[in-house]
Amino acid sequence: MKFATLPNGTLDGKLILVSKDLLTAVDVSSIAPNLLHAIQNWETVESDLNAVYEQLNTRKASEIFDFDPSVCLAPMPRSPQWLDASAFTNHGRLMEQAFNTDPIENFDTIPVMYQGASDDFQGPTADMPMPSEEDGIDFEGEFGVIMSEVPMSTSAEKAVEHIRLIVQINDWSLRALGPREMNSGFGFLQAKPSSSFAPVAVTPDELGDAWKNGRVNMHLHVSWNGQRFGEPHGSEMNFSFPQLIAHAARSRRLTAGCVLGSGTVSNVSRAAGSACISERRVIEKIDLGEIKTGFMRFGDSVRMQAKYDDGSDGPFGVIEQRVVENSSAG
């Protein structure tokens, strides 16, 4: 199944099902008012949702309408937890090499992960207000999963059963604020504004062979102000999503609807480009001896879309966002 969320004045929005071809949709809020509710009550609502999804794809459902991804909110505008890993260790190794820092202890065997804000997820076309261009405004293209309730100390073997949906994420980052927060040992907080999501969240079966080894085996195509930036492939993730879930649940219960991210998609091959500016910058430092690329400016845009290995469009739809100057401050 493919899910999206339309604004309806509530914090969680209104749940719709989107057809396999992403062209049409149907309101399923009478079955589950929003996606969080659907995940919390999956056993109760799954078969009804599946029935409507089948009717939608065979055009037998009533009240089918055109799907307009540009008006969508994040599929789940607020979630119980947002846990973000750095599971493509190539990215971390590049950072260490460029800045000549000590390797993170057990980086290859124990995932690194922080918890970020999950109460204010942004939709695929939302303008992103940021306080200052001096903060090193960066995008970060990721894949992620949304889970059913995961009991404390669930193993990686069992964790795979808790993956309900797969999502595509832009994990906005403020790079100038990161080093101090990492050096403090307390981790990222100011360096991580609210994240944004592609419009469509999909059940794993929708990916077919592209969901393999607990990884999203697709290219994540990223462009910045219309210029190609990279299309790294999700298969090089060093920890699988089930391994990451087991790490996250080591000493806590994850209530239904938590979101777990892969960290920026990153490939060893330089030809793949990057899914975040900071990675291009460290590659420039390593390969060219100097950093040439700056961070985003107000008015800049970023576009992200997953594609299958055959070049066809992925199931998540497109993230296309613009950075703007924050004007809300008190």
- Toward a copy of itself, which CB reaches closer, 54 or 120? 120
Instruction: Give the shortest CB-147-to-a copy of itself separation in angstroms.
Output: 12
- Toward a copy of itself, which CB reaches closer, 80 or 273? 80
Question: Rule CB under 8 A: is residue 291 a binding residue for a copy of itself?
Answer: no
How far is the C-alpha of 218 from the C-alpha of 267, rounded, in Å? 12
List CB contacts of 170: < 8 A, sequence separation 6 or more.
139, 140, 141, 142, 195, 196, 197, 302, 304, 319, 321
Q: Which of residues 239-278 bind a copy of itself (CB under 8 A)?
A: 247-248, 250-255, 258
Question: Rule CB under 8 A: is residue 119 a binding residue for a copy of itself?
Answer: yes
Question: Rule CB under 8 A: is residue 191 a binding residue for a copy of itself?
Answer: yes
How far is the C-alpha of 149 from the C-alpha of 7, rounded, in Å? 26
- Six token digits for residue 93: 């190794």
Question: Rule CB under 8 A: is residue 110 a binding residue for a copy of itself?
Answer: yes
Instruction: Give the shortest CB-205-to-a copy of itself separation in angstroms.
Output: 22
Question: Rule CB under 8 A: is residue 286 a binding residue for a copy of itself?
Answer: no
List CB contacts of 311: < 8 A, sequence separation 6 or more.
none
Instruction: Give the shortest CB-233-to-a copy of itself separation in angstroms.
Output: 24
- Toward a copy of itself, which CB reaches closer, 169 or 258? 258
- Toward a copy of itself, which CB reaches closer, 158 or 285? 158
Radius of gyration of the chain (CA): 19
Q: Where are the alpha helices (DSSP H) in the chain?
A: 35-40, 42-57, 89-99, 156-159, 178-184, 241-248, 277-288
Question: Rule CB under 8 A: is residue 109 a binding residue for a copy of itself?
Answer: no
- Toward a copy of itself, which CB reaches closer, 59 or 250? 250
Q: Which of residues 129-188 bind a copy of itself (CB under 8 A)?
A: 129-131, 135, 150-155, 158-159, 174, 177, 180-188
Nearest residue to 95 (alpha-carbon basis) of 292, 285, 237: 285
Interface segment toward a copy of itself; rule CB under 8 A; list 16-24, 26-34, 73-81, 278-286: 73-81
Question: Rule CB under 8 A: is residue 65 a binding residue for a copy of itself?
Answer: no
The number of beta carbons lying within 10 Å of the beta carbon of residue 80 is 18
**Three-state DSSP class for residue 122:** strand
Question: Rule CB under 8 A: is residue 299 a binding residue for a copy of itself?
Answer: no
Instruction: Give the shortest CB-192-to-a copy of itself separation in angstroms.
Output: 8
- Six token digits for residue 197: 């999501």
- Toward a copy of itself, which CB reaches closer, 97 or 235? 97
- Six token digits for residue 258: 């938590």
How far is the C-alpha of 83 from the C-alpha of 113, rounded, in Å? 7
Phi and psi at residue 182, to the nearest 5° = -70, -45
- Toward a copy of itself, which CB reaches closer, 45 or 104? 104
Q: Which amino acid is at 30?
A: S
Question: To which residue do tokens 């969080």 refer?
Answer: 36
Binding stretches for a copy of itself (CB under 8 A): 11, 78, 80-81, 83, 86, 104-107, 110, 112-120, 129-131, 135, 150-155, 158-159, 174, 177, 180-194, 247-248, 250-255, 258, 326, 328-330
